[in-house]
Amino acid sequence: QVQLVESGGGLVQPGGSLRLSCAASGSIFSINAMGWYRQAPGKQRVLVAEITRGGSTKYADSVKGRFTISRDNAKNTVYLQMNSLKPEDTAVYYCNSQSLGNGYRYWGQGTQVTVSS
């Protein structure tokens, strides 16, 4: 089993920046890819960004050019740098891992990001 612990959420003004962190533990050897999802109130959870075992990245169109996903293998940690934040980015952000072989997904507890004046 993989455990994911998130940090870095909070309240920021429009145009501001935040960096989310996700530390993985447990069966880390089983992770094929990691990503960030978000869910606004009353909305479906959607993919924001992901990074594969080989280092390839993918972003939702709504965050391209503003968000960057990266990893630090020595710390078993994935980051999401969020710049030029908009009120529409307000959501609970979830870290996610995909397992090798069966593709099973694990989720972090979620961290609230609020963009408001």
Distance CA 80, CA 50 (A): 10
Reduced to 3 states (helix: H, G, I; strand: E, B; else coil), residue 116 is coil
Vertex 34, ends 99 and 65: CA angle to 5°?
155
Q: Which of 99, 61, 97, 93 is nearest to 80 (CA)?
A: 93
| Per-residue pLDDT at 60 exceeds 90 | yes
In the chain, what percentage of residues exceed pLDDT 90? 90
Q: What average pLDDT does the structure give for the chain?
A: 96
In the chain, what percentage of residues exceed pLDDT 70? 100
Q: How many CB atoms lie within 10 A of CB 99?
A: 17
